[in-house]
Amino acid sequence: MVQAIQIPAAAVHNLVMLVYNLVMLANKLVMLVYTMVMMANKLVMMVHNLVMLVMVVYTSVIMVFHTLVMLVYTMVMMANKMVMLVYTLVMVVHTSVKMVHNLVMLVMVVNNLVMMVYTVMLLHTSVMMANKLVMLVYTVVMVVHTSVVMVVHTSVMMVNTAALNKLAMVANTLVMMGNTLAMMAKNIHFPSAAVNESVVVRNFQIPYPWVQVHESRKLLVKRARLFADVVVKQQQGVPSKHIQKCIILILKSRKRPMGQQKVQFTFKAKGSLASSCFDIKQPL
């Protein structure tokens, strides 16, 4: 038979209190573990926040650095554009300088052309002066030829006349030759800036003082006669007296333009009126 066990109430109370204390201790232990877990969670959250802060700071630093790099790149590009602009300006200035140089070279070419034209004009002037010299020499030769012909003719005439007549004619001829040569030496000269007026008869040129209008009719007739004798040698088929009359009429008419350097006389047809034997044209 089972005997009844009698447990004192105090022991039961103590046992209950012990269990209660153990439960409370376990509860506290659980609360401690919970607190530790919560603290660990908070620590993890703090670490996470710290990591996030570090990431934000890192990202901010990266963005700032990237912004600085982009700013520097932009400044470099602006500097490059400025350099390109300066290079463009330098090229424009260089092109302008080359254009000015080309214009200067063009002006020099034009100047050379002008100098060539001026040289040709000087050569033409020299040729014209040489032509005038040749014509004057030809005039002197023709006058000397006329004088020689007159001397020969006079010598032939002297053979058929008396001695006194011969001597007189020789003396007269010598005097006429001396006067003619004196007039030639005195009046024939090269055209210059002071006296460059001349009379041109079919490209035959005589200095203007030869045919200058003079108060003395004898001198006028003598010059016209001398001029006509020379022209007859140059222009065949025109009578000497006809030319003398034409020259005297024109010189007396004073139709010569005032202030002109040269006057050109041209023969008309043979047999025309004396007043129209010569045609006064514009200066050469």
pLDDT of residue 92: 94
φ and ψ at 273, to 5 degrees?
-65, 155
- 163-187 and 9-159 helices, crossing angle to 10°: 170
Task: Give dist(CA 81, CA 75) in Å, integer.
Answer: 10
pLDDT of residue 216: 54
Give pLDDT tens digits for 92-101. 999 999 999 9
Q: What is the pTM of this model?
A: 0.31
pLDDT of residue 147: 79
- 217-234 and 9-159 helices, crossing angle to 10°: 100
pLDDT of residue 141: 85
**Ranges in the chain, pLDDT < 50:** 189-215, 254-284
pLDDT of residue 281: 40
Two tokens, residue 115: 């100098």
